[in-house]
Structure 1
Amino acid sequence: MAKSAPKSAPKTTLWEFFQSLGKTFMLPVALLAFSGILLGIGSSLSSAAVKESMPFLDNTLLQLLFMWMTKIGLVAFIYLPIMFAVAIPLGLAREEKGVAAFAGFVGYSALNLSINFYLTVAGVIGNPTEEKAYGVKLILGVESIDTGILGAVIVGIIVAKLHARFYTYKMPDALAFFGGARFVPIISTLVLGVVGLIVPLVWPYFAMGIAGIGNLISHAGPFGPFLFGTGERLLLPFGLHHVLVALVRFTEAGGSLEVCGKTVSGALNIFYSELACPTSQGFSGSATAFLSQGKMPVFLGGLPGAALAMYHCARVENRGKVKALLLSGVIACIIGGITEPLEFLFLFVAPALYVVHAILTGLGFMVMGLLGVTIGNTDGNIIDFLIFGVLQGTATKWYLVPMVAAIWFVVYYSVFRFAITRFNLKTPGREIETKDALAFAVTGEKTTGYKGDIILAALGGADNLVSLDNCITRLRLSVNDMSLVNDAVLKANGALGVVKLDDHNLQVVIGPQVHMVKNEIQGLLPASA
């Protein structure tokens, strides 16, 4: 209980809240990416065109397998709002995470049942004209307003706040059974039940606002994808890019389109609907313009070119050490679609160069859209290129991707080499004092490649930590005293960068192995922590 005061301080900042919220999106989005791969492989290999061109695939057992992959690939697409409603309180909860996740499901169910009650009493249910006006849809077996991801996010935030307030709530002795963690789903049911009565009154205004954003993007023409791609990169260092990405992927801001007789909103939702629709002819360029294809010039060409430039600009005696560091970053970028291990190598030493990188990313989105490429999904890596580009046939114009990526490779290499040498930027291997850090980054002694005890000490020790979590590539922490955090020691022991967001919150960029580092540090903390 003594730690309750310092823990509350960081949580009061809006910055901390939004970056934490963005982090919670990763769990359903990761499943979405995998489900998309299953859906892409299954739907493409079971299509009539592929069976005609490759007759050996027209086998009953194989086709049943592909149809099964297509079916289970829809799991994240169909139930995505529910997953967000569960994942958000799960990710935001400090303790009793399982209860928070359960309450998220209960709250989402209560919301829709309450909306159904309102629509029934108001005479909307059973009136086709009114149902269309309200956007009524079958959700969890109940006719309700299709609030989509935004509704699920609202539920998740409310439940997370209720959980933080009530998971230690003490009831009178006669009702003690319902106290503590058990009270969280109870209060969530009541509160979301009331919210469900309000939603039909205010939802049309929310929908109009999101549609307005979508119209703004659509009327921007080719500059819509440019603004999206550039904005996403600029928000990435602060951990807020997930919010923008979710808005475009899953709401009307990413466009609306009728697919297989149903109106679908959100760029990624549209793409998956077209992928699963047997009568759909190709993919909508207006949707894929915001998806994987826009990342491919940078992920498959640009950043590898930047890595080569950094290698050539390193001191000769340091190139052997830098080589492994850069190569691992390139592999993570091309195969995994994870760019931060490379981006954070130059973000802090050359912020202006990162802005150029963001603009070039936006141009990649715009160019792919103008060329009529139609490759969807989320990651922009070589897997997406093969599954959602090559396997879907030449209608996706996948053959243009290597050409554009090659151009981006040359542009990035030239720009980075000029900037590094002209302005003497201290990218990896350019400074003598970085030798120990570079050597350790690639030859660490422990299984993770990092010394958790040293990193913990550099963070001010266990007593200085208020919270410890991670996203895909970085530790996300709250501390009592930021002055105790030693940036130099962190960087000398494998950290690619340290981002101090305010007086209490920071991020330590590690790379793809960050979850192992977090677990190692967690294991060093006292049981009471």
Structure 2
Amino acid sequence: MKIMSNVMTALQRLGKALMGAVAVMPVAALLSGFGYLISNMAGEDNFFALILLNSGGAVLDNLGLIFAIAIAFGLAKDSNGAAALSGYLGFATLTTLLDPEKVAVYKGIDAESLEGQAAIDWAAQGWDAVNNKNVLFGILAGVLAAWVYNRFSNTKLPDALAFFSGRRLVPILTALFAIVLAAIMFVLWPLVYSGLFSFGTWIQGLGAIGAGIYGFANRLLIPTGLHHALNSIFWFDVIGINDIGKFLSGAETIEAARTATDAASCPGAWNGTTCEVVGVVGQYQAGFFPIMMFGLPGAALAIVLRAKPGQRKVIGSLMGAGALASFLTGVTEPLEFSFMFVAPLLYVVHALLTGISLAVASAFHWTAGFGFSAGLMDMLLSSSNPLAHQWWMLLLLGLAFFLLYFGIFYFLIGALNLKTPGRGEEETPATAETAQSGDKYDAMASRIITGLGGARNIDTLDHCTTRLRVTTHDPARVDEPALRASGAAGVIRPSKTAVQVVVGPQVQFVYDAVAKRMHEPTAGTSLHAPVRGEVVDLSTVSDEAFASGALGQGFAVVPQAGSLLTITAPADGTITQLMKSSHAFVVRTDDGLDVLTHIGFDTVTLKGEGFTPLKSKGDTVRAGEPVIEVDAAALRERGFDLTTAVVMPEKSQTTAVELTPNGARVLR
């Protein structure tokens, strides 16, 4: 089980690192899209069209190199530039040593003079595929460079070689290891290339069925984050499919198809005599447009209409924002996570419909492509691409899927009483409150840190396109309801210690706010007296359990006289516990400190009599904000000591408590 967990964690980290390379694809899409638009209007030789198309080629012609740099940087333990430099050096070493001309020299072959079967056998070894476009080599070089960095970046050499210690040693070792890797690939690459080429040909040979299987698997893997790895196989040049790269290359792909002489040189589907690319290249992208632009918005409408009347306005605003993002940009996770876990049947239906959409688009050869995702912006950009084939039919298909999604979701939610947003007993739409309280990202970051068990419970923090990716020290301290209440679209627990918080396209700003808060000094936490009165040393109270420190370090407050006491929060944070008898509550501060406020001694025996809660478990509170009201006159009349103790029950969190006139300062 531990081995499987480690494998899953490694794959998820790789998937996150891959997104660093994928994130540059919109650049190629924008440049190529506008380039083809100008070319169609002003001619192929138009100066500006050529500038834009060649600039887009700067990305597409160096994808392998980009992947090497991005993966090395993304997998490095502290995302240091030395790792990225080593990724570049490792890739350059690998591709230079295995350049087709050099391999021919190693083997004593004059490749240009080969003819007949000898030429075919040489081409079948795949050395011509070793270039700056080779994503598989980029992944290998990136992983190698990251491993070298993580293993040797802190290595100290003797004084005579001290200049080359630490991070400066990493590029040197990466180059040496890349030589070893090149020697291994010199033997393995012909076998690997043959296997990958055969698998890619088999998948493409399945046509619409293969596209449908891919679409179904793509959505099913979304909860794990492994869909990035699957996408790389179909969208980039890992096994020769390279659907995005070939589509964005447009005219270049068409020209390659015109000159192709066999399946190996065909960038599309080889029918035995000719190479077909129009209506073929783009088949692993086109079917996503009807789903993201129309299907999911239809599902969102069904969820809104099935929400309880009192919740419909709030859910409508949340679903509307998610639907707009999906339609315009193809960012679907805020919508998908709204029903993925609360109604998994709906998510399986969604995955099936996605597969059907890709299969239908592929069967009818309707194609369009994207550089980021399947939203309106990418569709408009790809419409000028010469490989876009009857792309407008995807809009009609989208209307059909809007009706399908709406009808199926509306029926299933009602018939099975599925607890989609707005129908469950626990509704926590916190986004509006968050947005109104100062910096919305800072406020959201505060809630997320609290939900993760505090800053001290966060081991590593990173992010991909839409998610915060976190590993924790103590998974038991993670509070999923609190994370959802922060405004997150969803929470995923891919392994025991790993947590993924689905934020949406604004994830970078939330990540920056979380990282900033994590690096703020947390040596001491100030606590306010929860009630007006005299702050006293905890050892002086009448209850032995508190006075002895058995329940944790802290302080106490002897309340002032009065018939009614208002007990307030001792610090900013989230109420993680509120006892049924309302005589005590726990606030987890923004830096992860658990603070128990206990009103009086032996008051648990009252079973709530005389206590009126003003807040609920999961509520976010500010220091001094009322939490409980106490009928002090009635309780004092019955002989209860209302001295209020404030303690830190998690003893490992506290080293000392210093009393102040208005509370205490907790040293961590």
TM-score after normalising by structure 2: 0.70
AA in 1 matched with 2:181: V
1:189-242 CA distances to partner (integer Å, 9 max, x unpaired)?
000011112212100111122123213312323201000111111111101011
State the SS of the aligned residue for 1:373: coil
Q: Which residue of 2 aligns with 1:366?
A: 359
For 2:252 and 2:123, locate their aligned partners in 1 and report how far apart those are by CA, in whole Å.
Answer: 24
> For residues 428 and 443 of structure 1, what CA distance do their matches in structure 2 show?
22
- Read off the aligned partner of 2:107 and give its amino acid letter: A
State the secondary structure of the residue aligned to 1:380.
Answer: coil
Instruction: Report what 1:179 is aligned to.
Output: 165
Deviations 1:282-309 (A, max 9, x none): 9532221112x11011111100100100
The aligned amino acid for 1:521 is V
Of the three residues 239, 243, 248, the one matched with 1:267 is 243
Aligned to 1:87: 70
Which whole-Å deviations, capped at 9, do the CAs of 1:77-112 have from their partners, x for residues lacking one?
A: 001100001000100112251000000001111112
Distance in 2 (alpha carbons) for counterparts of 1:191 and 1:125: 29
Residues 188 and 181 of structure 1, relative CA distance in 2, 3 Å threshold: same
Q: Does 1:388 align with 2:414?
A: no
The structural deviation recorded for 1:436 is 4.7
1:285–1:11 CA distance, 2 compared to 1 (3 A): same
Contact 1:39 1:73 in 2 (8 A): yes
Match of 2:105 in 1: 120
Deviation at 1:148, TM superposition (A): 1.2
Letter in 2 for 1:496: A
Query: In the alignment, what sits opposite 1:261?
Result: none
User: What are the within-5 Å matches in structure 2 for residues 136-215 of structure 1?
Assistant: 136-137=127-128, 148-215=134-201
Q: Tell me how far 1:355 sits from its aligned partner.
A: 0.8
1:259 paired residue number = none
1:74 match: secondary structure: helix
RMSD (CA atoms):
2.7
Matches for 1:31-430 after TM superposition, within 5 Å: 31-47=24-40, 50-51=41-42, 63-95=46-78, 97-116=80-99, 118-124=103-109, 126-127=111-112, 128=114, 129=119, 132-137=123-128, 148-251=134-237, 253=239, 255=241, 266-276=242-252, 283-291=277-285, 293-378=286-371, 379-389=373-383, 391-392=384-385, 396-430=389-423
Counterpart of 1:386 in structure 2: which amino acid? L
**Residue identity opposite 1:237 in structure 2:** P
- Cα distance in 1 between the residues matched to 2:11 and 2:422: 35
Residue 383 of structure 1: how far off its partner (Å): 1.6
- Would you say the 8 A contact 2:246–2:253 is kept in 1? no
Shift of the 504–124 alpha-carbon distance from structure 1 to 2, 3 Å rule, reads farther
Change beyond 3 A, Cα 1:168–1:119: farther
Q: Count residues with an aligned counterpart.
A: 494
Say if 1:481 and 1:503, in contact at 8 Å, map to a contact too: no
Counterpart residue type for residue 463 of structure 1? R
CA–CA distance in structure 2, aligned partners of residues 462 and 453 of structure 1: 10
Distance 1:186 1:301 in 2: 51
Measure the CA separation in 2 of the matches of 1:179 and 1:527. 30
* Partners of 1:338 and 1:65 in 2: CA distance: 31
Q: Distance in 1 between matches of 2:429 and 2:337?
A: 18
Query: Cα 1:457–1:272, aligned 2, differ >3 Å: closer, same or farther?
Result: same
Letter in 2 for 1:244: L
> Relative to 1, partners in 2 of residues 1:527 and 1:172: Cα closer, same or farther, differing over 3 Å?
farther
| Aligned-partner Cα distance in 1 for 2:158–2:5 | 30
Check if 1:29 corresponds to 2:22: yes
2-structure distance, mates of 1:344, 1:253: 31
Matched residues in 1 for 2:446 and 2:59: separation?
A: 38
Q: Which residue of 2 aligns with 1:260?
A: none
What is the CA distance between 1:418 and its match in structure 2? 1.1
> Are residues 275 and 320 of structure 1, via their aligned partners in 2, closer, same or farther at CA, if it must alter by over 3 Å?
farther
**Residues in 2 aligned to 1:35 and 1:147: alpha-carbon distance in whole angstroms:** 14
Deviation at 1:278, TM superposition (A): 7.8
Distance in 1 of aligned mates of 2:110 and 2:513: 54
Q: Give the letter aligned to residue 524 of structure 1.
A: R
Q: Is the 8 A contact 1:168 1:181 kept in 2?
A: yes
Q: Quote the Cα distance in structure 2 between the aligned partners of 1:65 and 1:115.
A: 36
Where 2:465 maps in the other structure, the secondary structure is: coil
Q: CA deviation at 1:131?
A: 5.4
Matched residue of 1:328: which SS?
helix
Task: Specify every segment of 5 or more residues in structure 2 that has no aligned partner in the other structure, as ranges.
Answer: 259-275, 523-668
Tell me, yes or no, if the aligned pair for 1:474 and 1:509 is still in contact at 8 Å. yes
Q: What is residue 507 of structure 1 aligned with on the other side?
A: 500
Give 1:445 deviation, angstroms.
4.2
Distance apart, 1:154 and its partner CA = 0.9
Q: Which amino acid aligns with 1:423?
A: L
**Equivalent-residue separation in structure 1 for 2:295 and 2:442 (angstroms):** 27
The question of whether the paired residues in 1 share the 8 Å contact of 2:200 and 2:240 is answered with: yes
Q: Could you tell me how far apart the structure 1 residues matched to 2:142 and 2:110 are?
A: 26
In the TM superposition, residue 435 of structure 1 has moved relative to its aligned partner by 4.7
User: Is the Cα contact below 8 Å between 1:468 and 1:477 reproduced in 2?
Assistant: yes
Structure 1 residue runs of 5 or longer lacking an equivalent are 1-8, 52-57, 139-143, 256-265
1:514 maps to a residue whose letter is V
Name the structure where helix makes up a greater proportion of residues.
1
Aligned position for 1:447: 440
| Structure 1 residues 339 and 267: CA distance shift in structure 2, 3 A | same
Give the drift of 1:380. 1.4
Contact persistence 1:298–1:364 (CA under 8 A): yes
Residue 45 (structure 1) shift: 2.1
Q: 1:137 Cα deviation (Å)?
A: 4.0
Stretch deviating more after TM superposition (147-156 or 499-508): 147-156
Aligned counterparts, 1:461-472, within 5 A: 461-472=454-465
Larger CA deviation: 232-241 vs 494-503: 494-503
Displacement of 1:121 in angstroms is 2.5
Alpha-carbon deviations, 1:140-178, whole Å to 9, x = none?
xxxx56881111111111111111100001111111111
Q: Secondary structure at the match of 1:285?
A: coil
**In the alignment, is the contact (CA less than 8 A) between 2:250 and 2:386 conserved in 1?**
no
Q: What are the Cα deviations for residues 475-502 of structure 1, in whole angstroms up to 9, with x where unaligned? A: 1011111100001111112122111111
CA contact (8 A) 1:134 1:145 kept: no
Q: 1:315 to 1:527 in 2, by over 3 A?
A: closer
Give distance in 2, aligned partners of 1:147 and 1:30.
16
Q: Based on CA coordinates, which of the two structures has the bigger radius of gyration?
A: 2
Going from structure 1 to structure 2, the CA distance change for 1:177 and 1:394 (only over 3 Å counts) comes to closer
Q: Which moved more, 1:129-138 or 1:246-255?
A: 129-138
Q: Contact 1:321–1:442 (CA<8 Å) still a contact in 2?
A: no
Cα deviation per residue 1:24-67 (whole Å; 9 max; x = unaligned)? 121221211221221122123213xx34xxxxxx799xx32222
Q: TM-score, normalised by structure 1?
A: 0.87
Report what 1:3 is aligned to: none
Identity, in percent, stands at: 32
In structure 1, give the amino acid aligned to 2:85: F
Distance 1:59 1:69, change over 3 A: closer
Which protein has the bigger strand share? 2
Report the AA paired with residue 201 of structure 2. Answer: N
- Tell me, yes or no, if the aligned pair for 1:462 and 1:525 is still in contact at 8 Å: yes
Structure 1 residue 11: Cα displacement: 12
* Alignment-mate amino acid for residue 228 of structure 2: H
